Amino acid sequence: MLKQVQAAPGTGIDAFFSAGSVAVIGASDDITKIGGRPVQLLRKYGYAGAIYPINPKGGTIQGLTGYASILDTPTAPELAVVAVPAQATLQAVRDCASRGVRGVVVLSTGFAEAGPEGAQLQAELVGIAHNHGMRLLGPNCLGAVNVVDRLVASFSIALEESMPPAGQIGIVSQSGNIGSFTMRCMADRGLGVSRFIATGNEADVDVADGIAALANDPATRIILCCMETCRDAGRLIQALDMARRQNKPVIALKIGATEQGQAAAASHTGALMGSDAVFDAVFRRYGVLRVHSFEELLDVGHAAVLLGAERLPTTRAVTLVAASGGFGIMMADAMVQAGMELPQLADTTKALIREAVPTAGTNNPVDASAQMSARPDILLKMLTALQNDANGSTLVLLLALSLYNPRLRGVYLEALSKIRASHPDRLLVIISRGPADAVAEINALGIPVFPSIPAAASGLAGLVRLGQLATLPPAAAYGGPVEKVDAAVFRNEFHAKKALAAAGISVPREEVVASADEAVRSARATGYPVVLKIASEDIAHKTEIGGVALDLKDDDAVRQAYGRLMANAKQHAPQARLDGVLVAPMVRGGVELIAGVSRDPVFGPVVMVGMGGIYAEVLKDVAVQVAPVSEDEAARMIRSLRMFPLLDGVRGQPRADVAAAARTVARLSEFACRHAGDVAEIDMNPILVRPEGEGVLVLDALMVPTSSSTPGH
């Protein structure tokens, strides 16, 4: 089902969080039923607004006056919760619209997830909502909760025993169960929740609405997002940009990373899946921290809440401390693999450590030996020296199982309490397993506790990304026209490169010829040595049919090559339409890159850059980003490649012209946006990147039309 055009993400979502009155359609006295639970939860947790149970039988429902229809309530409810069978939902939503309800939550199932008939019914619900300016959450959803105001429009079992404490964490989830489990787990850790919203089928309200609403919510400081897919890339990007501009960290558990997981997600939601690498790129662009496990979501989310935006780390420097050299090595390995850095300590810091613990190893990681926990004053002196070190790094202290020992627990808690008081702005992280109450005491000091070395390493790397949110540059945007491209670009590489050259991308001087004599004339004009390549819109991979001849040094070589290429084409591709042979200069020197554009089903044109040859094909050493990209962003993409040292002058080789390569990628991305309507793919391979200051040359290019475009001659 296609969604109708909507206003900016987050518009009208306050109806689900700040309604002054709630109607429950399908209300029941039985609190085990879906229609009974919202009424019970609203009453149990002290919602201050009016509650209107709606049931055709009327009477009294859970001690409240029941109404046969929402049309009979004393005042128009601002929010309605619908818990009736799918076929009865249509009339219920019509009545809500007639009554002037601002938002309706459809908990019922049996819609798009159930097949074509359900999808048609869902489309009718959306039509009613849109025609009356009413927002619709669901169907097939777990609803919404405003923890602060005790507004419950949900039947979640996570609320059965208790409401989470009010706090700063906002949760938006496409999966109701995953979202409510997140809410319950955060509450079990003693962390407060501000808002919760589960979007279900997303017939109207989607995950972008939830993110945008939380980004603009004063009660929310951090957003946890559990998502399977994206139905509207533009709205998601808008919402993420809102969160970035509000400096609200977003931590996303994006599931469906494997082909099997993506297939399951598609069958569950009925939505197209975008490439997982593209989701990664979009998240990176807008400062979203993507996590890959539920445990990581909880650990990093917990740490981010404890630190607050003002104390999140902004550099990757860490100083590691353990009572064991072996543990120190394990910490160092994990941190470096996660992209963290281990700066050296100042000589004065080393001297102060030795004063406190004479047997300590004073490199980073610091091997403090068991003596560090002999007395609180010893540990405090060492920690003070490290926190005062000029490198300004995050201090990571491994306690292993020490918190289980009452004496050691006392030593650590006393020292940690004092170091937090004396250095409130410095970041200290603990790695330890221990009793829940001991961990809670440390957390209460504003010190995150990670349960393992790998969790601390990935968690700290993630916190750094969140800490850099405020410094992210605005994403590139394309504001120009979308134009049709000359259909000739799909015929052969000559026309493709001609169009790229017009867009400011450097290509060699080339010519397409129709005879051996013309090939010789062109080769002489170009200057030997030259390259000959078959030119045909039906032969995309020329080398596979013997359609390329390299390093031709004279007229005879050109004549022979011309005949050989034409013969090979007729033998291996007898039906192919031949435009002739391309004559180009034989260019040497430099490093090969590839760059291209593909069309992602969710995000549209996506630009890719990678090292040429086997590095892209075998090692998959590529970087991607949604088009367009700026030159700075393109340069960051190139520098992120594992084989970037080949461009950066490894082993005395001249540095390649990375700036020119980045400019080429940026211009390619703009070309893709300008011609997004009819160009599905672009492949520039190879791109020869010459030494610094000498530019680049695109040696081969291919363009593929969209299915709606018809290439012609």
Min mean pLDDT across 191-195, 466-470, 526-530 is at 466-470
Output DSSP code: residue 656.
Answer: B
What is the separation, in whole angstroms, between the first and last Cα of the chain? Answer: 37
Q: Do 42 and 92 fall into the same domain?
A: yes
Residue 238 has pLDDT above 50, yes or no: yes
Do 523 and 600 fall within a single domain?
A: no
CATH of the domain at 521: 3.30.1490.20
Task: Provide the pLDDT for residue 649.
Answer: 86
Within this chain, do residues 313 and 280 fall inside the same structural domain, yes or no?
no
Instruction: Tell me: do 65 and 124 sit in the same domain.
Output: yes
For residues 122 and 267, membership in a common domain is answered with yes
Evaluate whether residue 6 is within a structural domain: no
Domain identity same for 43 and 192: yes
Do residues 224 and 282 both lie within one domain? yes
The CATH number given to whatever domain includes residue 84 is 3.40.50.720
The residue among 545, 564, 585 that closes a domain is 585
Q: What is the pLDDT of residue 258?
A: 59
- The pLDDT of residue 271: 36
Lowest mean pLDDT among 27-41, 107-121, 216-230, 609-623: 609-623
Question: Into how many domains does the chain fold?
Answer: 4
Q: What is the mean pLDDT of the chain?
A: 93
> How confident is the model at residue 223, as a pLDDT?
97
Angle at 459 between CA 382 and CA 467, to 5 degrees: 85
Q: Facing residues of 702 across strands?
A: 683
Residues 93 and 212 in one domain: yes
Give the C-alpha separation, 492 to 700, whole Å.
Answer: 10
β-pair partners for 106: 82
pLDDT band at 541, cuts 50/70/90? confident
Residue 87 neighbours by CB under 8 Å, 6+ apart: 110, 121
Q: How confident is the model at residue 56 (pLDDT cuts 50, 70, 90)?
A: very high
Euclidean distance between CA atoms 358 and 80, whole angstroms: 69
Is 608 in contact with 595 (CB distance < 8 Å)?
Answer: yes
Say what the pLDDT of residue 257 is: 65
Domain assignment present for residue 637? The answer is yes
**Could you give the CA distance from residue 439 to residue 620 in angstroms, rounded to a whole number?**
42
pLDDT in the model for residue 6: 61
Residue 303 is assigned to a structural domain of this protein: no
Assigned domain for 500 exists? no
**CA-wise closest residue to 234 among 9, 558, 485:** 9
**Residue finishing a domain among 471, 490, 521:** 471
Q: Looking at the structure, tell me whether residues 244 and 337 fall in a common domain.
A: no
* Judgement on whether residues 530 and 601 belong to the same structural domain of the protein: no
* Joined tokens for residue 642: 């594992």
pLDDT digits (tens, 9 = 90+) for 587-630: 988 999 999 999 988 899 999 999 987 677 777 788 999 999 99
Which of 525, 597, 527, 520 is closest to 563 using CA atoms? 520
Q: Where are the alpha helices (DSSP H) in 100-169?
A: 116-131
Query: Pick from 533, 561, 585: which residue ends a domain?
Result: 585
Do residue 123 and residue 229 come from a single domain? yes
With bands split at pLDDT 50, 70 and 90, how would you rate the model's confidence at 682? very high
The answer to whether residue 261 scores a pLDDT higher than 70 is: no
The answer to whether residue 477 is domain-embedded is no
Residues 680, 548, single domain; the answer is no
Q: Indicate if the pLDDT at residue 672 is higher than 60.
A: yes
For the ranges 256-265, 381-390, 467-476, 577-586, which has the lowest average pLDDT? 256-265
Dist CA 318 CA 399 (whole Å):
16
The per-residue pLDDT for 199 is 97
Residue 459 lies in a domain: yes
Can you give the CATH number for the domain in which 670 is found?
A: 3.30.470.20
Q: Report whether pLDDT(268) > 60.
A: no
Backbone φ, ψ for residue 511 (5° rounding): -155, 145
* In a domain? residue 139: yes
Burial of 436 (C-beta count, 10 Å sphere; 0-12/13-18/19+): exposed
Question: Range of 641's domain?
Answer: 591-705
Q: Is the pTM of this model over 0.75?
A: yes
Q: What confidence tier does 400 reach under pLDDT thresholds 50, 70, 90? A: confident
- The least confident of 436-445, 452-461, 650-659, 696-705 is 650-659
Report the alpha-carbon distance of residue 482 to residue 497 in Å, rounded.
Answer: 20
Q: Is the peptide bond before 508 cis (omega within 30 degrees of 0)?
A: no
Per-residue model confidence (pLDDT) at position 669 = 98
Q: Is residue 478 part of a domain?
A: no
Mean pLDDT across the stretch 4-11? Answer: 77
